[in-house]
Amino acid sequence: MKMVVANWKMHMSGAESERFFKDLMKEVTPGGVEVVIAPSNFALYSLSKIKQWQFSLAAQNFYHMDYGAYTGETAVRQLVGVADYALVGHSERRQYFRETNKDTRRKVAAALSVGVKPILCVGETAMERENKETDDVVRDQLLAGLADVTPTQLKDVVIAYEPRWAISTAKNVGVCTPEDARSALTFIRQQLKELYGKTARVLYGGSVKSDNIVSYLKKGEADGALVGGASLQLKEFGDIIEATKAVR
Ligand code: PEP
């Protein structure tokens, strides 16, 4: 089944998140696609109480340790029963909060250890792409993030390829064509096959909208999408979900 993940980033109050989620559950009809909402961690618990049918929830971030003296952090165990998934290594975490490949390794392992499915984000910067380092960077991020993942655990891991230069809030945002996306996704699947003899779900993220989602799924061969800006508009995000359902 295709997957669409909404990354709400640091937007919306708790009440606004709840209202949006309720409206979205009314707007879209069940079936055909797994919709994952990643609200701010602050809103996660209340959304988990009202979540219905095919919706899942994701944390945008967490700390790899269990409970403890880590002021301001969300423990991986606090996600249990609340979040089905958790983003790991989103480019904004890597860029603004200096998250390293070592952090992503720990987070992926910690999430899996408590039954939360990690969505490991990988992708190169504009400069790395210019220097023809895309494959190198993506491989390093994959190898590090998955270092402690066993073949049995791979089915619970989702990979999201997000070229940083194509994220809608990037400076001088560029267009990642479905062909560009396909070549990165193919590379990721090859790496997974080399490592595990099988692949995982691989999503595309970067300025996905209702008028281009189908091309990323069909020509880009993505198993779904990670959507930032467009997931904050009810009608637009509803259209993305409906368009995804139509792709078999
Ligand atoms: C993101 O931040 O993960 C993202 C893909 O954002 P956008 O869809 O706005 O480019």
CA of 168 to the centre of ligand 1 (A): 6
* The residue count for the chain: 248
State the number of CA atoms in the 13 A half-sphere of 53 facing the CB.
11
> Would the CB of 89 count as within 6 Å of ligand 1?
no
Average pLDDT of 189-202? 98
Residue recorded with tokens 């994952």? 36
CA distance 224 to 221: 9
The ligand 1 atom nearest the CA atom of 170: 10
**Above 80 in pLDDT, residue 54?**
no
Query: CB of 237 within 8 A of CB of 231?
Result: yes
CA distance 106 to 75: 13
Q: Which among 92, 99, 124, 162 is annotated as catalytic?
A: 162
For the ranges 95-109, 163-177, 180-194, 223-237, the lowest mean pLDDT is seen at 163-177
User: In angstroms, what is the span from residue 200 Cα to ligand 1's centroid?
Assistant: 21
Shortest-distance atom of ligand 1 to CA 227: 8
Question: Which whole number is the average pLDDT over 130-159?
Answer: 98
pTM (predicted TM-score):
0.97
18 is catalytic: no
Strands 201-205 and 117-122: unpaired
Rounded mean pLDDT, 203-220: 98
CA 90 vs. chain centroid, Å, equals 8
**Greater pLDDT, 94 or 248:** 94
Percent of the chain with pLDDT over 90: 94
H-assigned helices in 85-204: 91-96, 101-113, 126-130, 134-145, 178-196
CB 226 near ligand 1, within 6 Å: yes
